[in-house]
Amino acid sequence: MPLSRENIIQDLLRIQPRGDYAPTELFELELHSRFDCERAIFAMFYERKHKYAFQIKGADKGHLKRRTDRLWNVLEHPVREVQRTGGPGVYSISVHYEKVGYVWADSIAHAEQLAVTLYGYLTDDPGSRLALNRINIVYIRACDQPTGDRVMMPIKAELLSYAQRNRQDALKMIRTYEAKLRTAEMIIDTLGGCKTEDSMV
Write down the pLDDT at residue 126.
65
Q: What is the pLDDT of residues 25-55, one digit of tens each?
A: 999 999 999 999 999 999 999 888 887 777 8
Q: Which pTM does this prediction carry? A: 0.68
Query: Would you write out the chain's pLDDT as a tens digit for each of its 201 residues?
Result: 678 999 999 999 999 999 999 999 999 999 999 999 999 999 999 888 887 777 888 888 899 999 999 999 999 999 999 999 999 999 999 988 888 888 889 999 999 988 888 888 888 776 555 667 788 999 998 887 655 555 566 666 666 665 666 667 677 778 888 888 888 778 777 776 555 555 544
DSSP string, the chain: -PPPHHHHHHHHTSSS-SS---HHHHHTT---SHHHHHHHHHHHHTTTT-SSGGG--HHHHHHHHHHHHHHHHHHHHHHHHHHHH--SEEEEEEETTEEEEEEEESSHHHHHHHHHHHHGGGSSSTTSGGGGGGEEEEEEEE-SSS-SHHHHHHHHHHHHHHHHHHHHHHHHHHHHHHHHHHHHHHHHHHHHTSPPHHHH-
